[in-house]
Amino acid sequence: MDQIQAEIEAIISQIEVLQRERDALTGSDILPENDSPEAIAQAYRHQARVAAQVSAEVNGIDNAIAALENQLQHKQRQLRQLQINKRPFTQKDLLEESLQNAYERADRINELARELAEELRELKAIAYDLSPSYWQLYHKPFITGLKGVSVPFFRSDGNVLMLTKFII
């Protein structure tokens, strides 16, 4: 059981390292040497050349994180199974384990809801900037239906999980 716990900690550590590496890659700003048009153009050209490589690296990091998260879930299930096998089963134990699983699922759903909300906000901002030009060129809207978009999430009132939604 200690070996599996050590493996879980190593996987979590590696995921954190990869996430920091990904954040470092995606956080680069375009900084021209000076404010001249040539320097600005050169900086953006350089950024365009680097963007493809960075995109491939970020994609590889994302794939590695996904694989490690799958491995982490597998190891956590193994650890839970070992813990279950070591102790006697009571109805209360089974209930507590089921409750823990439900709260973990709700936390995961809330995490995904935060990510989805952020992506929707970014899409709304892009659509807001793009729509006037798109309308002038194609005589139709670029995106519709973004006004009342909502994302489901779980809220806990004591021991009760309640599925609610918030509007983006």
pLDDT of residue 29: 66
Q: Which of 73, 62, 83 is nearest to 104 (CA)?
A: 73
Q: Please report whether residue 19 resides in a domain.
A: yes
pLDDT of residue 145: 84
> Could you tell me the residue range of the domain that residue 54 belongs to?
1-87
Q: Please report whether residue 100 resides in a domain.
A: no
pLDDT of residue 27: 65
Q: How many other CB atoms are found less than 10 A from the CB of residue 1?
A: 11
Q: Are residues 52 and 131 in the same domain?
A: no
Q: Please report whether residue 136 resides in a domain.
A: yes
Look at residue 19 and give its three-state secondary structure: helix
Q: Which residues pair with 7 in a beta bridge?
A: none
Q: Are residues 1 and 65 in the same domain?
A: yes
Q: Please report whether residue 128 resides in a domain.
A: yes
Q: Please report whether residue 2 resides in a domain.
A: yes
pLDDT of residue 105: 93
pLDDT of residue 168: 81
Q: Are residues 135 and 167 in the same domain?
A: yes
Q: Which of 22, 3, 4, 152 is nearest to 73 (CA)?
A: 4
Domain stop point among 22, 53, 87: 87
Q: Are residues 80 and 119 in the same domain?
A: no
Q: Model-level pTM?
A: 0.47
- How confident is the model over 77-98, as pLDDT tens digits? 988 888 877 766 678 878 888 8
Q: Are residues 4 and 46 in the same domain?
A: yes
Q: Are residues 116 and 59 in the same domain?
A: no
Q: Are residues 2 and 78 in the same domain?
A: yes
Q: Please report whether residue 22 resides in a domain.
A: yes
Low-confidence ranges of the chain (pLDDT < 70): 27-31, 87-89
Q: Are residues 3 and 79 in the same domain?
A: yes
CA distances from 102 to 6, 97, 105, 118, 132 (A): 25, 9, 5, 24, 45
pLDDT of residue 108: 94
Domain count, the chain: 2
